[in-house]
């Protein structure tokens, strides 16, 4: 109560701050409101039933789910390594892991082509050895998604591992536990909030992924066309469909935000 009184005692908020703040808020809110208003709700359910939308939804769900699983299986050990093992080049590796966070997704796609494309360094060897090529397959979609999502996961889990501290690892060692047992029974359970948050972040990033995917995997209905790619395509032929599809993704995104509300939406 007393803080409210003293806040008023300081005078009215200056217009120089209120006006830009209102503009910023409008910029964030108005497009979302107009998207909801412009959604052709009459055909909403019908749109969901078209084959293209069903395929894209299915592929998006599949790709984001597999991406999260790959992030957890590979990213957790990487986060542990970064948080717990002192090896030469550790800070360099951490910086490298963070690069995809700031990399334009199209650049990520081009980078993936140079590595895993038909004539890429690794992709070429793979093709020569097995005849298998990765680009323009669902696998390519998952790889692109994992590339852009993994940093969110790894940094979140590494932060949690650092926060829970090494003391419990030490205690486990004095009780005779080897490092694997310690990881399984102590380190990982204590880092679980970070694992969950990282998984949700990775999933959300994967859900909206467009640039790297379309560059590396293309936009083929049924195999590589995810929801964002379908929206991009629909926008050029039928904007109404694009709005409907966008509405679907908006609903999913808000659901994620709701799931995370305890973590980011509570005011300090």
Partner 1 sequence: MADHTMTAMPASPGLVADLRVDGRLDARIRAARGEVVAVIGPNGAGKTTLLRALAGLVAPEGSVEVDGTSWTHPPRLVRDRNLGFVFQDQSLFPHLSALDNVAFGLRSRGVDRAAAAATARDWLARFGIEELASRRPGELSGGQAQRVAIARALAPSPSLLLLDEPFAGLDVGVATALRIELARHLASYDGIALLVTHDALDALTLADTVVVLDEGRVAQTGTPHDVSARPRTDHVARLVGLNVIREDDVFRSFSPRAVTVSLTQPEGSARHRWQGTVLSAAPHGDAVRLLVDSDPELIADVTPAATAELGLAPGRRVWLSVKATAVETYSLRSP
Q: Which residues contact 196 (CB under 8 A, 6 or more apart)?
A: none
CB closer to partner 1 out of 186 and 201: 186
CB closer to partner 1 out of 190 and 260: 190
DSSP state of 41: G
CB closer to partner 1 out of 181 and 253: 181
3-state SS string over 106-147? HHHHHHHHHHHCCCCHHHHHHHHHHCCCCCCCHHHHHHHHHH
Nearest distance from residue 173's CB to partner 1, in Å? 4
Nearest distance from residue 155's CB to partner 1, in Å? 23
Nearest distance from residue 166's CB to partner 1, in Å? 11
Nearest distance from residue 216's CB to partner 1, in Å? 40
Q: Which residues contact 76 (CB under 8 A, 6 or more apart)?
A: 157, 188, 195
Nearest distance from residue 195's CB to partner 1, in Å? 13
CB closer to partner 1 out of 131 and 176: 176
CB closer to partner 1 out of 124 and 159: 159
Nearest distance from residue 170's CB to partner 1, in Å? 6
CB closer to partner 1 out of 94 and 179: 179
CB closer to partner 1 out of 164 and 244: 164
Q: How far apart are CA 175 and CA 265, in angstroms?
A: 40
Q: How far apart are CA 28 and CA 179, in angstroms?
A: 47
Point out which residues bind partner 1 (CB under 8 A). 167-168, 170-178, 181, 185-186, 189-190
DSSP state of 88: T
Four-residue CA torsion sign, 230, 41, 34, 251: negative
Nearest distance from residue 187's CB to partner 1, in Å? 10
């Amino acid at each position: 109560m007393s803080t409210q009184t003293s806040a008023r005692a300081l005078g009215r908020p200056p217009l120089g701050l209120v006006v830009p703040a209102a503009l910023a808020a409008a910029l964030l809110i108005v497009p979302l409101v107009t998207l909801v208003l412009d959604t052709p709700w009459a055909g909403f359910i019908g749109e969901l039933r078209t084959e293209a939308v069903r395929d894209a939804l299915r592929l998006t769900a599949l790709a984001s789910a597999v991406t999260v699983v790959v992030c957890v299986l590979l990213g957790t050990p990487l986060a542990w390594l970064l948080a717990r093992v002192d090896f030469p080049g550790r800070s360099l590796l951490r910086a490298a892991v963070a690069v995809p966070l700031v990399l334009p997704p199209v650049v990520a796609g081009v980078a993936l082509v140079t590595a895993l494309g038909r004539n890429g360094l690794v992709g070429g060897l793979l093709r020569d050895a097995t005849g298998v090529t990765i680009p323009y397959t669902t696998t390519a979609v998952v790889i692109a998604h994992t590339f852009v999502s993994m940093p969110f996961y790894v940094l979140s889990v590494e932060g949690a591992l650092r926060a829970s501290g090494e003391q419990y690892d030490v205690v486990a060692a004095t009780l005779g536990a080897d490092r694997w047992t310690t990881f399984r029974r102590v380190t990982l359970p204590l880092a679980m909030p970070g694992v969950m948050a990282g998984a949700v972040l990775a999933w959300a990033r994967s859900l909206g992924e467009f640039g790297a995917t379309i560059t590396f995997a293309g936009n083929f209905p049924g195999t590589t066309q995810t929801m964002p790619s379908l929206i991009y395509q629909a926008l050029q032929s039928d904007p109404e469909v694009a709005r409907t599809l966008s509405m679907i993704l908006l609903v999913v995104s808000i659901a994620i935000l709701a799931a995370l509300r305890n973590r980011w939406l509570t005011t300090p």
